[in-house]
Structure 1
Amino acid sequence: MANNNSKTAFENMKYEIAREVGVNLKQGYNGDISAREAGKIGGNIVRKVFQAYTGNSYPTERRGDTSR
């Protein structure tokens, strides 16, 4: 179970990223944001955590890449 410090750090990161990508995320209920906006926040969280954990930039998929 995560402690309060890690939850607070995650919350701070979530709101910071939302500001960076231009999504108006507010405290509490955010069911009015679009799936695209939520995805922008989530995707950037994954990218930031990946970079912090590995020290490498997050691999991006190239257009036309059908390997997945």
Structure 2
Amino acid sequence: MKVPKRVYEGLEAVRSSGRTNMLIVSDVLRCARSMGYPETAQWIEDNRNPYWEGIFQGFSPSD
């Protein structure tokens, strides 16, 4: 799943932090915001189906 570069950075930051399970969306949103990635949280809120696709298929940054 291609996502904007900054969104990808936020997803990777949350994932690698180990603070939450990426399947618990409310925690991912909270962590993204607290870690300084509000655009990642907004993207997830606006793109729930693509988020789930990316969780199971992987994310990559768009150019």
Taking structure 1 as the reference length, the TM-score comes to 0.32
Q: Which has the higher contact order (CA 8 A, sep 6+)?
A: 2
Tell me which structure has the larger Cα radius of gyration.
1
- Structure with a larger share of its residues in helix: 2
Taking structure 2 as the reference length, the TM-score comes to 0.35
